[in-house]
């Protein structure tokens, strides 16, 4: 092959891997002495091909070399070294090379051969598909290649049986690579086509946004590192943005709800930007003492609603406000419960949806400022906390200074996620200690009273409610189990035991066939159900899947009955909006009888239950009932400056309370939007909502193991 044109190369000096491919047709005798006439080349016995000047059968032998030196007149014929075929020169010709020069030439030739060989190998590796097979087929077909040793535990594949289908290739790597290349190519073509369809201004805007996103991500990582937070790769969440509904009527209704959100947001931005809430009649800001001097409750509460509705510009300006203005270094007393579910919850969900590090940083910072609330003899937190001094206390009206079940029992989801995102177990330890305290206490009739003294660790008044003061404690027992990927067996048992006691002692049916949940006061029932209690319909339905198999259908039916009762409380008012509380006594059913129970403050609980019932049953009546509520909101609550609550839903004349609650944007409008969206938007298999409707991802077991490995 390569060396046939170079007779000066010794066959014995060739690399082993080339010797068998090159016929050793000629060789030079190596025993010539310096100064003596070189001997003639002799043919190897194995040579099967004649060469110029070689003797053939029946031909005379070549003339012998004369005594003269190389190129002298004694040289005879082309076979002699001195003759023309030998490359020598007669008389004044080129001087013949000695044995040392041959070795230098050999090195030069070998260098050329190796260079060509390496070039071929690298070319095959980088530019040819499945290059290892190609190289072995071209260059090494005459040699039996030894395969690499099999991995431990390898079982050889059985040979194909006669009559079997076509054998699959032993290695699918090449085919898989081609498939990936083809898919990448098609995706690149699609992206290029989409880009070409855009206007130049849109392309420039997209490039600018991508640059800003990269800069923000880098800045966020630096801030997280500065705050001592662990590096955490952001994974695009499942269902953060869903598809457009296929049904045009449903799509139109969902678009209307998005327009309501924009109207509420724009008016807040116009008249109360940076303050906690909006007074839409007065067109100015409103601040509740629940938040102390912390500002921006509506902004933080609305972040995730803006995101899932794809209101990108509004989300961007809200994020910028959080980054520049959200400040927790204030000397003020705040409600631990309200700040947790609205601020901590809103920041956590915004982080999980968008991956913006500023939200994680702010959430952990605020969580750390809430930790002094747990500095009580039992670890049951105070209701109120000065976040600068760390001094806490309870509401003075709460049963001798007791902590409230719905407040200290509604920290679990947020604090578990704070530990997950910060790497600091103290948050989860605080809320798990609450479980320990509760497990040691006797429960009257299996029920949890609304008041617990944080100093003595004993119950206060035996007042039990699934509405105000108790509601979200039960909700968080169920959702803690779901959020743990159904591994929190303690939370699960506490929830289903509590539901059994509620069914036995609190759930009743009216003479008109309406199922309701009464309140329990020292063994006596008060046949009153609050608007807040209406969330329980969705809770019962959501928990049906984990109930004992013979109770699953019963829990769904119980949820449906509660939903029907709460719908009746809306339908029996003049404005088709529900009162704060309604009663079942004195011949009255699902109607408020006291003036201080007739108001509606844009609450979400009835809509919440409709949303869960729709997702779990797809009964169209829940969408219809929700749309009736939308029409009532538009007719009676929409004013020039936003949306306002109503003082009396039974009146024929509207009297507004002049407050646009932050939870109207966070909960009421979000649940309505989800009702008229497909189930792929924030699916229950991947998300759990806190009591302020902020979605948190389910913490999968494999996610925890992956993070441990990453650390």
CA distance 93 to 17: 38
CB 493 within 8 A of CB 480: no
Which of the two residues, 108 and 3, has the higher pLDDT score? 108
Q: What tens digit of pLDDT does each residue of 32-66 get?
A: 444 444 444 444 444 344 444 444 444 444 443 33
How many residues appear in the chain? 711
**Which residue(s) pair with 646 in the sheet?**
600, 656
Q: Is the pLDDT of residue 140 over 70?
A: no
Task: Say which DSSP state 147 is in.
Answer: P
User: What count of other Cβ atoms lies within 10 Å of the Cβ of residue 106?
Assistant: 17
Q: What tens digit of pLDDT does each residue of 113-138 get?
A: 878 778 776 665 555 544 444 444 44
Of these residues, 301, 338, 475, 692, which one is catalytic?
Answer: 338
Mean pLDDT of 636-650: 98
Using DSSP's 3-state secondary structure scheme, residue 519 falls into: strand
CB 652 within 8 A of CB 573: no
Q: What tens digit of pLDDT does each residue of 652-677 get?
A: 999 999 999 999 999 999 999 999 99
Q: Model confidence at 207, in pLDDT bands (50, 70, 90)?
A: confident
Radius of gyration of the chain (CA): 42
Q: What tens digit of pLDDT does each residue of 676-700 get?
A: 999 999 999 999 999 999 999 999 9
pLDDT confidence of residue 199? 76
Q: What tens digit of pLDDT does each residue of 393-405 get?
A: 999 999 999 999 9
| DSSP H or E run through 183 | helix 173-197
pLDDT confidence of residue 14? 52
Q: Which of 88-92, 422-426, 693-697 is predicted with the least confidence, judged by mean pLDDT? A: 88-92
Q: Is the pLDDT of residue 406 over 60?
A: yes
Nearest in space to 688 (alpha carbons), one of 301, 352, 340: 352
* Phi-psi label, residue 3: left if phi above 0, alpha if psi -120 to 50, beta otherwise: alpha
Tokens of 357: 């590090």
Mean pLDDT of the chain: 82
Q: Which of 126-140, 424-438, 512-526, 618-632 is predicted with the least confidence, judged by mean pLDDT? A: 126-140
Residue 314 falls in the annotated catalytic set = no
Of these residues, 580, 608, 648, 692, which one is catalytic?
Answer: 580
pLDDT confidence of residue 702? 67
pLDDT confidence of residue 201? 76
Which of the two residues, 105 and 424, has the higher pLDDT score? 424
* Of 157-161, 238-242, 319-323, highest mean pLDDT: 319-323
Distance (Å) of CA 371 to CA 328, 340, 380, 381, 430: 14, 11, 11, 9, 8
Residue 471 falls in the annotated catalytic set = yes
410 is in an annotated binding site: no
Q: What tens digit of pLDDT does each residue of 478-526 get?
A: 999 999 999 999 999 999 999 999 999 999 999 999 999 999 998 899 9
Distance (Å) of CA 332 to CA 87, 124, 299, 575, 626: 105, 72, 20, 39, 39
**Could you give the dihedral angle defined by the CA atoms of residues 692, 695, 697 and 698, in that order, rounded to the nearest 10 degrees?**
50
pLDDT confidence of residue 33? 45
Tokens of 670: 């979000």
Q: What tens digit of pLDDT does each residue of 253-294 get?
A: 999 999 999 999 999 999 999 999 999 999 999 988 999 999
Q: Which of 237-246, 354-363, 595-604 is predicted with the least confidence, judged by mean pLDDT? A: 237-246
End-to-end CA distance of the chain: 57
Using DSSP's 3-state secondary structure scheme, residue 193 falls into: helix
CA distance 52 to 25: 12
Which of the two residues, 370 and 22, has the higher pLDDT score? 370
pLDDT confidence of residue 181? 77
The whole-model pTM stands at: 0.71
Of these residues, 314, 519, 605, 692, which one is catalytic?
Answer: 605
CB 541 within 8 A of CB 549: no
The backbone torsions φ and ψ at residue 315, rounded to the nearest 5 degrees and listed phi first, read: -65, -40
CA distance 484 to 239: 19
pLDDT confidence of residue 439? 96
Q: Which of 149-158, 301-310, 467-476, 545-554 is predicted with the least confidence, judged by mean pLDDT? A: 149-158
Q: Model confidence at 332, in pLDDT bands (50, 70, 90)?
A: very high
CB 644 within 8 A of CB 661: no
pLDDT confidence of residue 581? 98
**Which residue(s) pair with 621 in the sheet?**
none
């Amino acid at each position: 092959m390569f060396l046939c044109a170079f007779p000066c190369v010794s066959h014995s000096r060739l690399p082993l891997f080339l010797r068998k491919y090159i016929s050793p047709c000629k060789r030079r005798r190596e025993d010539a002495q310096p100064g003596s006439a070189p001997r003639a080349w002799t043919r190897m016995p194995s040579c099967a091909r004649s060469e110029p000047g070689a003797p053939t059968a029946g031909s005379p032998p070549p003339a012998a070399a004369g005594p003269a030196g190389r190129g002298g007149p004694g040289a005879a014929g082309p076979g002699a070294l001195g003759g023309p075929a030998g490359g020598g020169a007669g008389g004044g010709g080129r001087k013949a090379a000695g044995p040392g020069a041959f070795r230098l030439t050999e090195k030069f030739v070998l260098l050329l051969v190796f260079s060509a060989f390496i070039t071929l190998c690298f070319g095959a590796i980088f530019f040819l598909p499945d290059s290892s097979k190609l190289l072995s087929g071209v260059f090494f077909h005459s040699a039996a290649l030894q395969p690499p040793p099999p991995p431990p535990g390898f079982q050889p594949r059985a040979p194909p049986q006669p009559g079997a289908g076509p054998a699959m290739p032993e290695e699918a790597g090449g085919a898989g690579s081609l498939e990936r290349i083809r898919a990448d190519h098609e995706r690149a073509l699609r992206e290029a086509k989409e880009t070409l369809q855009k206007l130049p201004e849109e392309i420039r805007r997209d490039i600018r946004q991508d640059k800003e996103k990269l800069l923000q991500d880098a800045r966020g990582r630096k801030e997280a590192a500065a705050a001592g937070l662990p590096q955490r790769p952001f994974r695009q969440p499942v269902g953060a943005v869903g598809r457009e509904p296929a049904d045009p009527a449903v799509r139109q209704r969902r678009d209307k709800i998005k327009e309501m959100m924009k109207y509420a947001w724009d008016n807040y931005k116009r008249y109360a930007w940076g303050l906690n809430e909006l007074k839409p009649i007065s067109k100015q800001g409103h601040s509740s003492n629940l938040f102390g001097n912390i500002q921006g409750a509506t902004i933080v509460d609305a972040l995730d609603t803006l995101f899932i509705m794809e209101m990108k510009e509004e989300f961007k300006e809200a994020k910028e406000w959080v980054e520049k203005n959200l400040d927790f270094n204030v000397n003020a007393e705040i409600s631990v419960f309200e700040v947790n579910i609205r601020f901590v919850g809103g920041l956590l969900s915004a982080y999980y949806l968008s991956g913006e590090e500023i939200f994680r940083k702010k959430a952990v910072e605020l969580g750390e400022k809430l930790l002094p609330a747990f500095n009580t003899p039992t670890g049951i937190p105070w209701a109120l906390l000065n976040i600068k001094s760390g001094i806490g206390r309870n509401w003075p009206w709460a049963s001798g200074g007791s902590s409230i079940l719905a407040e200290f029992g509604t920290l679990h989801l947020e604090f578990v996620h704070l530990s997950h995102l910060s790497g600091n177990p103290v948050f989860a330890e605080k809320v798990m200690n609450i479980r320990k305290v509760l497990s040691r206490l006797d429960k009257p009739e299996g029920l949890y009273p609304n008041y617990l003294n944080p100093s003595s660790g004993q119950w206060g008044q035996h007042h039990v409610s699934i509405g105000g003061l108790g509601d979200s404690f039960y909700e968080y027992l169920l959702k803690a189990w779901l959020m743990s990927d159904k591994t929190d067996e303690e939370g699960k048992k506490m929830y289903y035991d509590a539901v059994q006691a509620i069914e036995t002692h609190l759930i009743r049916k009216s003479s008109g066939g309406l199922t309701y949940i009464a309140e329990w006061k020292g063994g006596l029932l008060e046949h009153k159900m609050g608007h807040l209690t209406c969330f329980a319909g969705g809770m019962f339905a959501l928990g049906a899947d984990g109930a004992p198999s013979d109770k699953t259908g019963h829990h769904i039916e119980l949820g449906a009955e509660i939903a029907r009762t709460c719908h009746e409380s809306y339908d029996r008012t003049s404005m088709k909006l529900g009162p704060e509380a309604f009663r079942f006594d004195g011949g009255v059913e699902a109607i408020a009888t006291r003036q201080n129970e007739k108001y509606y403050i844009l609450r979400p609980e009835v809509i919440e239950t409709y949303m869960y019932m729709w997702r779990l049953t797809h009964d169209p009546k829940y969408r219809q009932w929700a749309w009736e509520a939308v029409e009532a909101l538009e007719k009676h609550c929409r004013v020039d400056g936003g949306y306002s609550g109503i003082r009396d839903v039974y009146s024929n004349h509207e009297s507004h309370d002049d407050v646009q609650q932050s939870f109207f944007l966070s909960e009421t409008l979000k649940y309505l939007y989800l009702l008229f969206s497909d189930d792929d938007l924030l699916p229950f298999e991947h998300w759990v909502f806190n009591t302020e409707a902020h979605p948190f991802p389910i913490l999968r077991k494999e996610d925890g193991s992956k993070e441990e490995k990453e650390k």
